[in-house]
Chains A and B, each alone.
Chain A
């Protein structure tokens, strides 16, 4: 049965790429999103087999819940895939809202106190945020409908249509609308100070779901933000939205730095690290030069990969140690050598150590920051990155090395849990040294889509 559902998920992935008619629109930006979603989705379904199987063996979940898990999992993937391919922004919004609803169901799978709490907060905050986003979307639609004489109700909301008319939009309207969009999608994308649902949801969800939430869902929401960033850049020039993106990005970095420093829970630490990386992406995007945007897109992919690796390994680790506390988890490398090694690699990658992939994209971001003469912003980013580097590194070293608190059986948690991680680690290494040619062109094209938006006006 599990295999069957897994197959279904792969089919869904394949099928979704082929959907292509008037309502949907694909460019290199969406292609990148789809690649990321498919990759992470595929690997986490692979990992789920082991992870959920174990949960099932330990009687944490019953059969019914298992079925619900896989149904939800596939629905979740489907809704996320719907986001980048829809051209109609209304449908995009509905898809994003649907991801919320589906993922709430997934988070509350365990029906423990913590998961109920997390899902309640997630539902409430994300819905409120997305309502704001819808406000913004409607405002954009209004701006569009005023200037498009031939508009009919369906295509008035098409992104392509809006981009075409964007230069004629009323600048004040665009500014207001963009703020709503920014706060709205920013909530879903985990930009501070609207990120508060994120640590709870990520730490309480089953690990494969955490990986999806962190690696992909945030990207999806950010993708939505990006689409409007492009429209607004066409309309009033990129300076306005760039500035806002930088501000929110830096706040995210600061809050993440503070929270990681004092963190006691592994998964929450990872969640805050997601906030940090969304901040990095946002700042990098906000610098508004080609190199920065290129770096940001690259960073989206890299972060998705690395963070999934970390969530998988930490999932395995917490299954083994029966705790999520950082203080109680030590000496992983002794008890579960391979997983520990993977965790170490993931951790080093996420804090931006060369030669891993995140280093590349962070480096690109910083250099673009200095080249675009955003010295204050770049300085703050470096400051926060150093804090995060130190604190995350401290926690990481404590967990991986050191001695286990009490004796436990050596050994990893089966091949199916190792395999996904190995795939991810190899991706990390490859991306760290060299970005494959087709991907490189894709990213370049995507960056041009975003950048040209600004250059035109």
Chain B
């Protein structure tokens, strides 16, 4: 038990070093506050959970506690990544992505509580490990990402990714580090993020062992949220990496950037290599967790397969990352030899990108960060409330097709911030006036009232009688 606090602390150390710095530089208080508070709650939750790990019984309280954690986790994962996706400030985007990852951690934690409440100790331990492993991983790769973002800021003096671009040629090592961090954070195989997300997902898939239909189907929705989060995370980091490091530079600052000093790279290199090591040999990290929390789980050799068995001892799923690595390498060697034999030696020429014959391919033709986020912004429009201010200047007033210049200001609103400022004005007349608006004239709304009444009454009675 003495290890408990230490283990938690150890997992959080890089965060403790880097977070305050980042948050100090982030102008937006609400988002950082949100992340910070949630991290604290997470730690609190972990500790509390640990003290009760054996004491959890199947009382509905614990089930609801677990479900509550999962719901909060799913929502914050989704919300966090959605805001990270449209954010143009690289550090704030990373901060939002922290919210997402804490959400994923919460999902695992909540699952652990739920499983424990239903007396499924092995599953409970599994999801707990998943959650803790993700905490550990997150602290590693998020530290890495924040450090590289700091390097970018250091050498280009800007955090706005709209002004960056092409940095991979100027700062190759930093770019490499950021790439590793990105691949890790979006949970792609062979790096550590994949393992913990795989574990979380597996524990989500195991929900069918819970003896309650309502919970099972609700947890299916958690899978939905989780999957969407993973997908959005992929898009977010493609956008962040692509716009920051690839293609042409979008500003003078970015064009004149130089690689950061070596000693700044060393710290990152350590973190990056631990991402890789934990990805290939996840058991090192898992053993750390098991011993730190004194869990009833048999740790074994670092090359062991992670294997999850069903209730009837058949193989539910298994994962052996060293094996994956072997396959990957051998395929690579194979195809390399094959291509050499068939194709022989060929020449590679460098030439400009295809410009449709117009010539003068400028950096303005490439996709901007905002336009990269546009389709997703549109699809989740309900959530972002996107707003475009289009200000066009015409050559003549008569012909509105020949535009001299167009100025588009595209904004999204953080509906959560807005919702925080509640509407405080109320009075009985105001309320009455609102009530009166029920008669909105829309027959659709009327039928909706009927449906809502019906469902509300059914719920009211349904829960009244069965519990």
Contact = CB atoms under 8 A, between A and B. Distances in A.
A–B contact at 8 Å CB threshold (below): yes
Given A179-B458, A193-B453, A258 B432 contact: yes
B210 to A, nearest CB: 24
Contact of B461 (A121, A176, A194, A255): A176
B449 A196 contact: yes
Interface in B82-137: none
A187 interface: yes
A244 interface: yes
A257 interface: yes
A370 B180 CA distance: 74
Nearest to A180: B454
Given A120-B443, A124-B447, A179 B433 contact: no
B433 A259 contact: no
Interface stretch (B143-151, B322-330, B396-404, B434-442): B434-442
A196 B435 contact: no
Interface in B413-451: 431-433, 435-436, 438-439, 443, 445-447, 449-450
Contacts of B435: 254-255, 258-259
Most B C-beta atoms less than 10 A away, residue of A179, A240, A261: A179
Contact of A132 (B436, B445, B454): B454
B446 A132 contact: no
A96 B231 CA distance: 53
Interface in A167-190: 171-172, 175-176, 179-180, 182-183, 187
A343 interface: no
Nearest to A124: B443
A179 B454 contact: yes
B457 A183 contact: yes
A125 interface: yes
A99 B452 CA distance: 25
Nearest to B432: A258
B436 A196 contact: no
A262 interface: yes
B25 interface: no
B449 A194 contact: yes
Contact of B436 (A129, A175, A259): A259
A128 interface: yes
B465 interface: yes
A41 interface: no
A257 B438 CA distance: 13
Most B C-beta atoms less than 10 A away, residue of A128, A183, A197: A183
A315 interface: no
Per DSSP, are chain B's interface residues mostly helix, strand or loop, or mixed? helix
B454 A125 contact: no
A56 B454 CA distance: 44
A453 interface: no
A132 B450 contact: yes
Contacts of B454: 132, 179-180, 183
Interface string A176-216: 10011011000100000110110100000000000000000
Contacts of A180: 454
Nearest to A192: B438
Interface string A158-174: 00000000000001100
Interface string B6-35: 000000000000000000000000000000
A196 B439 contact: yes
Contact of A257 (B432, B439, B457, B465): B432
Interface residues of A, number: 31
B264 to A, nearest CB: 64
A194 B436 contact: no
A197 B449 CA distance: 11
Contacts, number: 70
B450 A258 contact: no
A22 to B, nearest CB: 34
B450 A172 contact: no
A183 B453 contact: yes
Contacts of A175: 461, 465
Contacts of A193: 438, 449-450, 452-453
A128 B461 contact: no
A261 B432 contact: yes
Given A120-B443, A255-B438, A182 B457 contact: yes
Contacts of A125: 443, 446-447, 450
A183 B450 contact: yes
Contacts of A259: 435-436, 439
Contacts of A196: 438-439, 445-446, 449
Contacts of B447: 124-125, 128
A121 B433 contact: no
B435 to A, nearest CB: 4
A121 to B, nearest CB: 5
Contacts of A254: 435
Interface string A256-284: 01110110000000000000000000000
A243 to B, nearest CB: 10
A404 B353 CA distance: 83
Interface in A348-395: 387
B433 A262 contact: yes
Contacts of B433: 258, 262
Given A258-B435, A262-B432, A244 B446 contact: no
Interface in A99-142: 120-121, 124-125, 128-129, 132
Contacts of B462: 176
A138 to B, nearest CB: 15
Nearest to A240: B461
Interface string B135-169: 00000000000000000000000000000000000
Interface in A236-261: 240, 244, 254-255, 257-259, 261
B462 to A, nearest CB: 8
A194 B461 CA distance: 19
B446 A179 contact: no
A320 to B, nearest CB: 27
Most A C-beta atoms less than 10 A away, residue of B433, B446, B461, B462: B446
Contacts of B438: 193, 196, 255
A40 to B, nearest CB: 26
A199 B435 CA distance: 15
A187 B446 CA distance: 10
Contacts of A387: 432
A275 to B, nearest CB: 10
Interface in B259-289: none
Interface string A219-250: 00000000000000000000010001000000
Given A120-B443, A175-B465, 17 more contacts: A121-B443, A124-B443, A124-B446, A125-B446, A132-B450, A176-B461, A179-B457, A179-B461, A183-B457, A193-B452, A193-B453, A194-B450, A196-B446, A255-B438, A257-B432, A259-B439, A262-B433
22 contacts: A120-B443, A121-B446, A125-B450, A132-B450, A172-B465, A175-B465, A179-B454, A179-B458, A183-B454, A193-B450, A194-B453, A196-B445, A197-B446, A199-B439, A240-B461, A257-B432, A258-B432, A259-B435, A259-B436, A259-B439, A261-B432, A262-B432
A-B complex: 7 closest residue pairs judged by Cβ atoms: A258-B435, A196-B446, A258-B432, A193-B449, A258-B436, A179-B457, A121-B443
